[in-house]
Amino acid sequence: MSMPSSAVVVIDVANDFLFEPGTIASQGGAEYRARAQALLPRLTRLLHAAREAGVLVVYATDAHEPGDAELLKWPPHAMKGTDAADIPDSVAPVEGDLVLGKRTYSPFVSTGLHALLSERGISRLYITGLHTDCCARHTSGDAFQLGYDLVWVTDGLQAFTEEAHRAGLEYFRQWYAVDPARQFRLAADLAAEWLEGGLASAPGSHQG
């Protein structure tokens, strides 16, 4: 079933956030890196299914430049034009995907994402990537206030700690979700529905 009004947003799935010696990955430690890297096979399947179903895939990945406000808080990371800002091969973009380099937590602030989605008629966003309690949270807040229908892929998100990940999901539930049974989904369930031509709005589990 074609779903031209939907998009999967992949946030900050870049080398610097996943692998040693990435700046962000190093700050998170080995346990964080293992959980973050565990997203990759889930996202690989989800993105394949999305493309098959006509769901737009949007990459919103840090591509910082010197002087960015975020670098007052964090050390330089995922700098534009470096390997650190590259998306891993296993989840690499393909023709037809929308690839954006962001300079702020939320791509709605620094990439023109809202206009790009609007011109494509996108009204539903499936949120994935890093981090649940930071960039995914700010992206979700902007999207909610702009009127998008949001779905969080709970096992397609992660944070520095499992506690922070779960806190991020709970924040979404408290402040943005209007139908949690529909809006908190698992990657495998969505992928199966899309590949089988099922409805993306079918009820699913809220799991982190």
CATH number assigned to the domain comprising residue 42: 3.40.50.850
> How many domains, in total, are found in the chain?
1
CA distances from 175 to 11, 33, 59, 141, 143 (A): 20, 28, 24, 9, 12
The predicted structure's pLDDT at residue 1: 45
pLDDT (mean) for 148-161:
98
Instruction: Decide if 164 is inside a domain.
Output: yes
Instruction: Decide if 1 is inside a domain.
Output: no
> Computed from CA positions of residues 184, 148, 74, 85, in that sequence, does the dihedral angle turn out positive or negative?
positive
pLDDT (mean) for 159-177:
98
pLDDT at 208 over 70: no
pTM over 0.85, yes/no: yes
The predicted structure's pLDDT at residue 207: 53
Over the chain, what is the mean pLDDT? 94
Domain range holding 187? 6-196
Instruction: Decide if 206 is inside a domain.
Output: no
Helices 135-145, 162-175: crossing angle, 10 deg rounding = 10
Q: What percent of the chain has pLDDT over 90?
A: 91
Contact call for residues 73 and 24 (beta carbons, < 8 A):
no
pLDDT (mean) for 130-155:
98
Instruction: Decide if 202 is inside a domain.
Output: no
Instruction: Decide if 90 is inside a domain.
Output: yes
User: What pLDDT, in 10s, does the model give residues 44-99?
Assistant: 999 999 999 999 999 999 999 999 999 999 999 999 999 999 999 999 999 999 99
The predicted structure's pLDDT at residue 2: 54
Question: Can you tell me the distance from the alpha carbon of 15 to that of 61, in angstroms, rounded to the nearest whole number?
Answer: 10
Instruction: Decide if 105 is inside a domain.
Output: yes
pLDDT (mean) for 100-115:
98
User: What pLDDT, in 10s, does the model give residues 84-100?
Assistant: 999 999 999 999 999 99
Instruction: Decide if 64 is inside a domain.
Output: yes
Instruction: Decide if 19 is inside a domain.
Output: yes
The predicted structure's pLDDT at residue 25: 95
pLDDT tier, 112 (very low <50, low <70, confident <90, very high otherwise): very high
